Amino acid sequence: MAIDGVRTAQLDLPDELLHKYNRPGPRYTSYPPAPAWTDEFTRTDLEKALAQADASGSDVSLYVHLPFCESLCLFCACNVVIRKDHSVAGEYLETVRREIAALSPFVSRERPVVQLHWGGGTPTYLNPGQMEDLFADLSLAFHFSPDAEMGVEIDPRVTTPAHLEVLRRLGFNRLSMGIQDFTPVVQQTIHRIQPYEMTREVIEAARALGFTSLNVDLIYGLPHQTAESFGETVERIIELAPDRIALFSYAHVPWLKKQQGSFVSALPADHEKFRIFRTAINRFRDAGYLYIGMDHFSRPEDELAHAQRERTLHRNFQGYSTRAGADLYGLGVSAIGRLGRSYTQNFRDLAQYRDAVERNGLAMMRGYRLTDDDMVRAAVISRLLCHAVVKKAEIAVEFGIDFDSYFGAELAALQDLETDALVHTTPEEIVITERGRIFMRNVAMVFDSYLPKMESSGRPRFSKTL
């Protein structure tokens, strides 16, 4: 159920409503959110989760985190390592190779890898030969399905024709590239100079090589952005005609990333930030894109749109995905995995990650095993964010509960959101309205049992929902 009928009037929000709902909250790429995970999840717990996942015979999804960048984009909240000297990549890849060797005995070769993603950082920080070597290590350790979805994040500023040629030859079929904003003053302020012409040349080269899907990342709420200036960026993106668009809200988390404090006075106010977002929604919609939800748009013929229509769409740590049911194995510094009912995360510090691999083979820093209640709530939150509707009978049958009794307090809390026209409830279902899809995270937060405790700690943990 994509948002293909939204009109500007339906997206008008009074300032008091923006202030009411634009508050810190998780993005729900996992439930429980990562701050709820603990270091009480031990190596024994990890090996048990690995064994259970292998016994299930599920499909496999691999994520490899490649953290290096040549320079720091000041808006960035990702786990990156800035190095001008590329020699550091060789040592890192040797550590990843050891981690692959330690992990692969836990993954039967009868289980196909249906999804591979290289993220960062900047994966194209590696030279083409290093990319070939890394893929060879993965291919020897795991069995790849012939139709595997293989994606990689690239930075047009450092990606060469040789990079693209090698990636395509290795079988990568999806590219995702950061753009953020084409406005010169914005690029200068965030320390990311990336001209339109440079970006267009990389996209044209990728298409000529036969990459089947192209995603671009934009960010709204950056310093010096206005609805008018960002509208010009959106028009240029439409000219480039990507298959998917990720339109992320700028996450202002200076308590985690001190460099973000350098431009705080230039950030758009809440109302202007909403105008920027609304402008993008309407222009992408008018160009034929479907608003999948939260922060993603796609062409109607894209797999994301098809999965949403078929109600098979789900979310993972890379955002929306069509490959439900696969266990996710994370490799590299800070990488996150999802194995059945368990989450795992590697050490986030590069030296600690390297030391852990040298000592133990695997580099898990923390994890979490989901309770029965977590599983129920995760399913509800996933359906809200992926399909904008929860059918109570489906949840009741799947988990053996009486929905209205189980979620009595949450249904009562939804009445306030219903008064503000964010949701519509019936005896059979909960539906997020057109207006409510702007604040999908807020609707999901009603069903988050961990959030009150995290909010009461007084420590900032999340960016605002808009």
Distance CA 195, CA 323 (A): 34
Q: Which residue from 328, 326, 335 is spatially nearest to 364, judged by alpha carbons?
A: 335
Q: What is the pLDDT of residue 443?
A: 97
Q: Are residues 218 and 71 in the same domain?
A: yes
The strands making up 429-432's β-sheet, listed across from edge to edge, are: 389-391, 429-432, 423-425
Q: Which of 298, 316, 331 is the last residue of a domain?
A: 331
**Is position 348 within any domain?**
no
Q: Does one domain contain both 201 and 60?
A: yes
Give the closest residue to 324 by CA, choosing from 311, 335, 341, 309. 311
CATH number at residue 62: 3.80.30.20
Indicate whether 170 and 318 sit together in one domain. yes
Q: Tell me: pLDDT of 112 over 70.
A: yes
Q: Which amino acid is located at 168 in the chain?
A: R
**If pLDDT is split at 50, 70 and 90, which confidence band does 1 have?**
very low
Chain-centre distance for alpha carbon 248:
9
Tell whether 14 is covered by a domain.
yes
H or E segment and range at residue 162: helix 161-170
The verdict on 151 and 222 lying in the same domain is yes
Burial class from Cβ neighbours inside 10 Å (0-12, 13-18, 19+) for residue 396 reads middle
- The answer to whether residues 163 and 226 belong to one domain is yes
Give the model confidence (pLDDT) of 191-215 as tens digits: 999 999 999 999 999 999 999 999 9
Q: Strand pairing partners for 431? A: 389, 424
Which are the contacts of 197, defined by CB distance < 8 A and separation ≥ 6?
none
| pLDDT given at position 281 | 93
**Assigned domain for 311 exists:** yes
Q: Is the pLDDT of residue 16 over 90?
A: no
Domain boundary (271, 304, 331) is at: 331
Q: Which of 10-14, 107-111, 140-144, 294-298 shows the lowest mean pLDDT across its residues?
A: 10-14
Tell me the CB-side half-sphere exposure of residue 261, using CA atoms within 13 A: 5
Q: Do 230 and 279 contact (CB within 8 A), yes or no? A: yes
Mean pLDDT, rounded, for 244-266: 87
Give tens-digit pLDDT for 35-52: 889 888 999 999 999 999
The single-letter code of the amino acid at 366 is R
Residue 79 confidence (pLDDT) above 90: no
Give the pLDDT of residue 78: 84
* Residue 172, pLDDT above cutoff 50: yes
pLDDT of residue 462: 84
Which residue, among 129, 180, 171, 127, has the nearest Cα to 151 in the 3D structure? 171
52 and 20 part of one domain: no
For residue 22, what is the domain's CATH number?
A: 1.10.10.920
Indicate whether 124 and 244 sit together in one domain: yes
Q: What is the mean pLDDT of residues 156-181?
A: 96
Question: Does residue 11 lie in a domain region?
Answer: yes
Section 99-122 average pLDDT: 96
pLDDT band of residue 324 (cuts 50, 70, 90) is confident
* Range name among 146-150, 306-310, 400-404 with the lowest pLDDT average: 306-310
Nearest alpha-carbon partner for 100 in 67, 151, 142: 142
pLDDT of residue 254: 84
What is the pLDDT averaged over residues 409-434? 96
Q: pLDDT class for 10, splitting at 50, 70, 90? A: low
**Average per-residue pLDDT in the chain?**
92
pLDDT of residue 7 exceeding 90: no
* Residue 137's pLDDT band (cuts 50, 70, 90): very high
Percentage above 70 pLDDT, the chain: 97
Q: What is the pLDDT of residues 212-236, one digit of tens each?
A: 999 999 999 999 999 999 999 999 9
Residues 132 and 89 in one domain: yes
pLDDT of 6: 42
Check whether residue 237 and residue 379 sit in a common domain: no
SS3 track for 198-263: HHHHHHHHHHHHCCCEEEEEEEECCCCCCHHHHHHHHHHHHHHCCCEEEEEECCCCCCCCHHHHHH
Candidates 102, 60, 63, 59; CA nearest to 79 is: 63
Q: Could you tell me the residue range of the domain that residue 418 belongs to?
A: 1-31+372-458
Domain co-membership, 423 together with 394 = yes
* Structural domain includes residue 234: yes
DSSP string, 61-117: EEEEEE-EESS--TT--S--EE-S-TTHHHHHHHHHHHHHHHHGGGS-TTSEEEEEE
pLDDT tier, 2 (very low <50, low <70, confident <90, very high otherwise): very low
Query: Is there a domain that residue 438 lies in?
Result: yes
In a domain, 338, yes or no: no
Choosing from 303, 331, 359, the residue where a domain stops is: 331
pLDDT at site 404: 98
Residues 41 and 24 in one domain: no
Whether 346 is covered by a domain: the verdict is: no
pLDDT at 8 over 50: no
- The domain tally of the chain equals 2
The answer to whether residues 300 and 393 belong to one domain is no
What's the pLDDT score for residue 9? 45
Confidence (pLDDT) at 4:
45
Global pTM reads: 0.92
Query: What pLDDT shows up at residue 147?
Result: 93
- pLDDT for the residue 92: 97
